[in-house]
Amino acid sequence: MKAAIVDQAGQTPAYGEFTEPIAAASERLVSVRAAALSPLARMRASGRHYSSSGTFPFVAGVDGTGTLEDGTPVYFLLPRAPFGAMDERTVAAADHCLPLPAGLDPVRAATIANPGMSSWAALTERARFRAGESVLINGATGASGQLAVRIARHMGARKVIATGRNRAALDALEADMAIALDDNDAALDHAFHAAFAQGVDVVLDYLWGPSAERLLAAGAKAGPEGIPIRFVQIGTSSGADIALPGAVLRSSAIELMGSGIGSVALPRLMAAIGSVFAAAASARLDLPATALSLSEVTQAWQQPPADRIVFTLNV
């Protein structure tokens, strides 16, 4: 069968022939319909993600949509290695497969599943978000951040604050307050302090790096005394590490946690994805994406990560 094959660490996936999968009794054979080129798929293919197996060769892609042997449309997550999502057929554990709601386009489902799950799981599983609370989304102009704004609103957030570098993209979001992450540190600190002084219950952080450092410091100084700020770390687009003074945690009620594979049990991640699919229409969870043939995988991999690409197969 045709697949996007990674032969060694750091190598761009190549389109070629790969062994056909055979499903075990506890698995499902899936004919793949669509697989998104997500940041997670890129990182696992590069071997830089903490959940990478380090075994080669393997097929790229962590999730997608397709059909079971009986024709049931499904979403699948984390196929059994060495198979992936970017192959004509794959195998995944039965409890890693989720029936698609009637009427949900499989390409749309593949596009929104991972970015939508990131904020849905962070809010429900880690932050224990309650309707009426205020949410700050650090890095709201990326795919996950855009959906996070809509999901927080859908869940009943009292106020949604969005940060990002692209002012035009920020202005296009349906946020109550937009903070541009520009080079004026004094202005940025002032904006962060003002936001926390008005009350922030949950921070969803997709960036880490310098902006996260400034947010944590501002929350410690300007947040109401004794009232927890649940800071959920989700992505590291701006840097893998930060400098965090111990005084930030000692002098505030900040609760610092992460959300992702490992910190949330897989059945709960699957449940979060099911909730994203159920809310897709009412919450307007959609992202523009370019649909490409899997044969274009090598060229597509060279495009900027901001370009949302979904590979279509078995069409």
pTM check: above 0.85 = yes
Does residue 97 have a pLDDT over 90?
A: yes
CATH superfamily for 114-258 is NAD(P)-binding Rossmann-like Domain (3.40.50.720)
pLDDT computed for residue 212 by the predictor = 98
The CATH code of domain 2-104+280-312 reads 3.90.180.10
Domain boundaries, the chain: 2-104+280-312, 114-258
- In the 3-class helix/strand/coil scheme, how is the chain assigned residue by residue? CEEEEECCCCCCCEEEECCCCCCCCCEEEEEEEEEECCHHHHHHHHCCCCCCCCCCCEECCCEEEEECCCCCEEEEECCCCCCCCCECEEEEEHHHEEECCCCCCHHHHHHHHHHHHHHHHHHHHHCCCCCCCEEEEECCCCHHHHHHHHHHHHCCCCEEEEEECCHHHHHHCCCCEEEECCCCHHHHHHHHHHHHHCCCCEEEECCCHHHHHHHHHHHHHHCCCCCCEEEEECCCCCCCCCCCCHHHHHCCCEEEEECCECCECHHHHHHHHHHHHHHCCCCCCCCCCEEEEHHHHHHHHCCCCCCCEEEECCC
* Mean pLDDT on 34-63: 82
* Mean pLDDT on 191-216: 97
- Tens-place pLDDT, residues 224-256: 888 899 999 999 999 999 999 999 999 999 999
- Tens-place pLDDT, residues 273-308: 999 999 999 999 999 999 999 999 999 998 887 778
